[in-house]
């Protein structure tokens, strides 16, 4: 009797935990392109710090240009990395949101690590870039695939 009470309480909990894991796997698939973008961005950011510290000026500038492009075109990068056409609009909008704080950091860097007009200019340029790309292509791929 005690064993059946125990199973009666444990089985529903195990089932709900299994469904939670299924939901989490769908979430990880939904965020796949964002994780890949984040990993590439983190690697490049670390490389730009290493290249700056070791006075490898050409490599530093090359990586800085790549980082700037990734920030200004975050939405299109995420669409390019996304496999499912159903999520193109979602990841594009997430990319536009992610690019705003990143572009503030970019403005901070281009402004010589101090407050400057770049702090406002780069987020506006990023939002404008994303707006133009979204409006110029009418299909779900935003002209990328």
On whether residue 103 sits in a domain, the answer given is yes
On whether residue 48 sits in a domain, the answer given is no
The pLDDT of residue 134 is 84
The pLDDT of residue 88 is 84
On whether residue 121 sits in a domain, the answer given is yes
On whether residue 141 sits in a domain, the answer given is no
The pLDDT of residue 49 is 96
**Domain residues for 122?**
67-136
The pLDDT of residue 118 is 87
Using one digit for the tens of pLDDT, what is the confidence trace for 86-112? 888 888 889 999 999 999 999 999 988
Q: Count structural domains, the chain.
A: 1
Kindly give the confidence (pLDDT) of every residue in the chain, 145 residues in length, as a single tens digit, with 9 standing for 90 and above: 444 544 455 445 444 444 444 444 566 676 889 999 999 999 999 999 999 999 999 999 999 999 999 999 999 999 899 888 888 888 888 999 999 999 999 999 998 888 889 889 999 999 999 988 888 766 655 555 5
On whether residue 111 sits in a domain, the answer given is yes
64-102: burial string, b at 16+ Cβ within 10 Å, e else: beebbebbbbbbbbbbbbbeeeebbebbbebbbebbbeb
């Amino acid at each position: 009797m005690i064993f059946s009470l125990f199973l009666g309480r444990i089985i529903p909990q195990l089932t709900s935990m299994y469904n939670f894991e299924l939901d989490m796997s769908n979430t990880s698939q939904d965020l796949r392109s964002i994780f890949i973008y984040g990993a590439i961005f983190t690697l490049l950011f670390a490389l730009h710090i290493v290249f700056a510290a070791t006075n490898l000026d050409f490599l530093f500038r090359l990586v800085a240009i790549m980082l700037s492009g990734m920030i200004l075109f975050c939405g299109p990068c995420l669409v390019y990395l996304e496999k499912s056409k159903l999520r193109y609009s979602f990841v594009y909008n997430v990319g536009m949101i992610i690019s705003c704080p990143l572009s503030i950091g970019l403005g901070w860097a281009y402004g010589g690590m101090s407050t400057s007009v770049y702090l406002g200019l780069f987020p506006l340029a990023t939002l404008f870039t994303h707006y133009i790309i979204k409006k110029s292509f009418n299909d779900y791929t935003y002209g990328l695939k």
